[in-house]
């Protein structure tokens, strides 16, 4: 029996250890972990030809909810009218490699491109290192059709409200229309009216969004509640907070002729 135990233990080490199975919660990367996913997905998106209406499926807060994430992917794949998917933060719960890889393995089965944005849970433990290497920069932009999409880190609490997140200087530089674009839409995880958003930067961001020509809306997640919209000023652009995959919900965003329409979906 002792020899059998030793043999099985050795076989287990060979079978699992040599194949790079995760044992340490501190592991940052391993062979086979995807890299630069956002650049790859944006490149796929650029190969598509947008129609007069752009339709985006906005998801967020997967946080170890692998069954729910798979149901979401199945729903999107059953449609033929989605241009791309946004995963608006909190891909992980504890910032661990296996969590990121688990959600990636599900979302990678989407028939349309998906672009991922950093959430507050993605910035704990080794999450910042994993996210940056696996998905890319925290602040980035991409264009699709006549729309410029600005994606940024708004997880102020994870930086102890140091006044640098969100990066207002970067936003000012990127809240500008590129050649061939006529409108801007922003995405970040934590909404400006949330306690996890730097309260000193909230009015600055809201004023910047409202004073930017062609700005249509600012989309956020984080609160795990039914979709809601707030407007800080009269005739303000909308700040829209969408629901979560962990609550078995996502939002469809339609963009056409400089106008937007959102539809919450429960599954």
All domains in the chain, ordered by first residue? 35-266 (3.60.21.10)
Distance CA 233, CA 250 (A): 27
Q: Please tell me the predicted confidence (pLDDT) of residue 21.
A: 52
Residue ranges of the chain with pLDDT lower than 50?
A: 1-20, 22
Q: Please tell me the predicted confidence (pLDDT) of residue 26.
A: 78
Question: What pLDDT digit, counting tens, does each position of 11-21 carry?
Answer: 333 333 444 45
Q: Please tell me the predicted confidence (pLDDT) of residue 3.
A: 37
Q: Are 254 and 235 in contact, with CB atoms under 8 Å apart? A: no
* Two tokens, residue 195: 């306690």
Q: Please tell me the predicted confidence (pLDDT) of residue 17.
A: 43
Write the burial class of residue 126 (CB in 10 Å: 0-12 exposed, 13-18 middle, 19+ buried): middle
* Two tokens, residue 199: 């309260």
The structure's pTM equals 0.91
In the block, residue with structure tokens 């209406």:
53
- Give the closest residue to 117 by CA, choosing from 94, 148, 87: 87
Q: Please tell me the predicted confidence (pLDDT) of residue 78.
A: 98
């Amino acid at each position: 029996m002792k020899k059998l135990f030793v043999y099985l233990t050795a076989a287990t080490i060979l079978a699992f250890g040599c194949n790079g199975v995760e044992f340490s919660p501190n592991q940052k990367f391993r062979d086979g972990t995807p890299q630069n996913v956002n650049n790859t997905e944006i490149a796929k998106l650029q190969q598509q030809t947008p129609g007069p209406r752009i339709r985006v499926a906005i998801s967020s807060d997967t946080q170890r909810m692998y069954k729910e994430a798979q149901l979401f992917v199945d729903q999107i794949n059953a449609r033929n009218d989605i241009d791309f998917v946004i995963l608006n933060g909190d891909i992980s719960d504890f910032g661990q490699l296996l969590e990121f890889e688990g959600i990636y393995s599900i979302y990678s089965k989407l028939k349309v491109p998906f672009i991922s944005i950093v959430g507050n849970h993605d910035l704990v433990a080794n999450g910042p290192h994993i996210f940056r290497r696996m998905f890319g920069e925290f602040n980035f932009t991409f264009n699709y059709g006549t729309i410029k999409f600005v994606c940024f880190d708004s997880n102020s609490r994870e930086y102890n409200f140091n006044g640098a997140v969100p990066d207002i200087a970067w936003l000012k530089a990127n809240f500008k229309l590129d050649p061939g674009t006529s409108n801007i839409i922003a995405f970040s995880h934590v909404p400006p009216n949330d306690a996890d958003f730097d309260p000193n930067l909230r009015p600055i961001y809201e004023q910047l969004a409202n004073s930017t020509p062609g700005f249509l809306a600012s989309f956020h997640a984080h609160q795990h509640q039914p979709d809601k919209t707030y407007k800080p000023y009269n005739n303000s652009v909308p700040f829209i907070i969408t629901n979560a995959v962990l609550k078995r919900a996502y939002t469809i965003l339609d963009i056409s002729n400089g106008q937007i329409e959102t539809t919450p979906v429960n599954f």
